[in-house]
Amino acid sequence: MQFAMEAEGLTKTYRGAQGVLEVLRGIDLRVAPGDFVTITGPSGCGKSTLLALLGCLDAADEGSLRIFGEEVEGASDQLLCRMRGQVLGFVFQSYNLIPSMSAIANIELPLKYRGMSAAARRRTALAALEAVDLLDRAQHLPGQLSGGQQQRVAVARALATQPKLLLADEPTGNLDAESANAVMSAIGELQRQGTAVVMITHDRKLAAQAPRQYTLRKGELIALS
């Protein structure tokens, strides 16, 4: 069986004025296509750091990470760019929207890099906005949107690329109950189509919806289910 993602012994340490801080200690995690995995833990425990490693946005000090069978620790920039552009999808806690571009343009941008035609990009972006109940804000700039609306645009951008592996950092953190349900419904549809989902959340009720649940404690990943 080919896993969507296999992490073995991932370790990350930061060195600063206050000494050495071992954030992650030998993280092991396997995620199959179509899996739904949630990771909880207190603020500052290293959850976002772990997601950055799994998403090829940062490198581990030690350990191995394979995405669909390809080793990415120490891989070439070309391979990492291909993974981020064609395989992985991200929902960042800080949104990472381009301020000068409308909501729909933010969603279309990664599709343009994939070579999708303008008409196909527009159809896909509109469908993604509709999935998160934000179709009426398509032409608004990020600065004209609330924090929750920006979060939904960020989710729609990730959904539009139909990633094989979706990494989500608090995707419902700034949303009301109705918007959160819309986002989780859209993510759930992706999962049913075979996308593997790894999601960080502080919401224990939300985390409990996943068949596989973990918590990060003192740098170690502990299985809860």
Measured on CA atoms in the order 22, 198, 127, 174, is the torsion positive or negative?
negative
Domain at 156, CATH number: 3.40.50.300
**DSSP per-residue codes, 82-95:** HIIIIIEEEE-TT-
Domain of residue 131 covers 31-47+77-223
Give the pLDDT band (50/70/90) at residue 94: confident
pLDDT of residue 142: 95
> In this structure, is residue 10 part of a structural domain?
no
Q: How many domains does the chain have?
A: 1
One-letter amino acid identity for 177? A
> In this structure, is residue 70 part of a structural domain?
no
Helix axes of 118-131 and 177-192: crossing angle, nearest 10 degrees: 130
Do 159 and 89 touch, CB atoms closer than 8 A? yes
Q: What is the pTM of this model?
A: 0.89
Do 82 and 135 touch, CB atoms closer than 8 A? no
**DSSP per-residue codes, 125-184:** HHHHHHHTT-GGGTT--GGGS-HHHHHHHHHHHHHHT--SEEEEESTTTT--HHHHHHHH
> In this structure, is residue 24 part of a structural domain?
no
> In this structure, is residue 122 part of a structural domain?
yes
Do 52 and 200 touch, CB atoms closer than 8 A? no
Per-residue pLDDT for 175 more than 90? no
Q: What percent of the chain has pLDDT over 90?
A: 64
- Please give the residue that has the higher pLDDT: either 186 or 128: 128
* CA 73 from centroid of its chain's CA atoms: 18
pLDDT, tens digit (0-9, with 9 covering 90-100), for 2-27: 899 999 999 999 887 777 888 999 99
> In this structure, is residue 194 part of a structural domain?
yes
> In this structure, is residue 111 part of a structural domain?
yes
> In this structure, is residue 21 part of a structural domain?
no
> In this structure, is residue 3 part of a structural domain?
no
Q: How far apart are CA 95 and CA 218, in angstroms?
A: 27
